[in-house]
Amino acid sequence: MAEVMIIKIAESSGFCFGVEKAVSKAFEATEEKANKSIYSLGPIIHNNQVIDRLKDSGLDVIESIKDIDEGTVIIRSHGVGKSVYEEANIKQIDLIDTTCPFVKRIQNIVKDYHQKGYQIVIIGNPKHPEVKGINGWCQGQGIIIQDIEDIPEDQTFENICIVVQTTMPLKKFHELSGILEKMGKHVKKFDTTCFATKERQEAALDLAGQVDAMIVIGGFNSSNTQKLVNICKELLPDSTYHIETAEGLSGKDLSHFERVGVTAGASTPDWVIKDVIRYLNKFK
Ligand code: SF4
């Protein structure tokens, strides 16, 4: 057993401003709702603890505007496609739009270049709501590339516009966009990764290089948390632990680690991080 465990917290971790804004607007809306029903289109964030609290405050999750005929709908920070705004307008459903400005920027680029006749290429996970939403600003006609094997062979375009999901590691963006730009005669390439993601990834990598084990806190379905896990595993393949809450550490013997680093995804609230630190302090 290590005599003293040193716990270090990543310089940048936890809630980013986009998620913070979405969550606080959601809590505000439930407080002010009076007799109106409030819904969110998909879970506000990828964090079950926050979702449970919002549910207790009266926020219901719907999958589509089709599911309701009245009420107020919160659009989460991941954003949605253009058709959702049109559908809500037709049904006269009020929207509270918490789309993160970084995501809005991508949607505007895609809308603009699609109108100019460019083939849109989105580097990202096709199943992620942010990517689906972005594709909804070019009529679903974007080519979505997650990995090298997704790149179509021998396909060329006169004009292509490349954007990237906000949480994609920069290294991967450069690797894939370097190949993709050869597909077009005229290429517009935008680094649309967000600074909050970059900061968290750099801080996690930096900290993983200084400790014996890393604890990464965040939803198992959170894309940006998963990226932090992968980054830490590059340096600490056998001693990176991905947990959602402090309970995730129970039964794990960490007592032999001298230095333990802690980081958290952009959708992990402060109180969950504090709980984990409290748990780790037992090993001190
Ligand atoms: S991770 Fe970046 S893009 Fe996503 S909500 Fe936070 S600030 Fe916005």
User: Mean of the pLDDT values across residues 89-110?
Assistant: 96
Catalytic residue among 20, 130, 181, 247: 130
Confidence (pTM): 0.87
Say how many Å lie between the CA of residue 105 and the centre of ligand 1: 12
Question: Given a cut of 80, is residue 3 above it in pLDDT?
Answer: no
Q: How far is CA 188 from CA 146, 162, 265, in A?
A: 19, 6, 30
User: Mean of the pLDDT values across residues 77-106?
Assistant: 96
User: What does the radius of gyration of the chain's CA atoms come to, in whole angstroms?
Assistant: 21
Q: What angle do CA 202, 269, 234 make, to 5 degrees?
A: 30
Q: How far is CA 227 from CA 80, 105, 153, 250, 266, in A?
A: 22, 22, 27, 23, 11
Measuring from each residue's beta carbon to the nearest atom of ligand 1, which residues come in under 6 Å? Answer: 16-19, 77, 100, 102-103, 166, 194, 196-197, 224, 266
Q: What is residue 1's predicted lDDT score, i.e. its pLDDT?
A: 59
pLDDT band, very low/low/confident/very high, at 118 (cuts 50, 70, 90): very high
Say how many Å lie between the CA of residue 78 and the centre of ligand 1: 8
pLDDT per position as a tens digit, 257-275: 999 999 999 989 999 999 9
d(CA 77, CA 124): 16
Which atom of ligand 1 approaches the CA of 195 most closely? 2
Burial 160-169 (b: 16+ CB within 10 A, else e): bbbbbbbbbb
pLDDT band, very low/low/confident/very high, at 147 (cuts 50, 70, 90): very high
Give, using CA atoms, the residue closest to atom 7 of ligand 1.
18
- For the question of residue 175 being annotated catalytic, the response is no
Which amino acid, 119? Q
pLDDT band, very low/low/confident/very high, at 84 (cuts 50, 70, 90): very high
pLDDT band, very low/low/confident/very high, at 34 (cuts 50, 70, 90): low
Q: What is residue 188's predicted lDDT score, i.e. its pLDDT?
A: 97
User: Mean of the pLDDT values across residues 58-82?
Assistant: 95
Q: What is residue 221's predicted lDDT score, i.e. its pLDDT?
A: 86
Strand partners, 74: 40, 96
pLDDT per position as a tens digit, 185-230: 999 999 999 989 899 999 999 999 999 999 999 999 888 899 999 9
The token pair that represents 218 in the structure block? 């965040």
Domains of the chain (ranges; CATH) run: 6-14+196-281 (3.40.1010.20), 17-100 (3.40.50.11270), 116-189 (3.40.1010.20)
Tell me the best of 13, 19, 199, 267 to mutate to test the pocket of ligand 1, counting ligand atoms within 8 Å of each CB and taking the most: 19
Q: What is residue 45's predicted lDDT score, i.e. its pLDDT?
A: 86
Do residues 206 and 162 lie in contact, with contact meaning Cβ atoms separated by under 8 Å?
no
Q: How far is CA 117 from CA 113, 158, 236, 239, in A?
A: 6, 9, 46, 49
The helix (H) or strand (E) run that includes residue 89 is helix 82-91
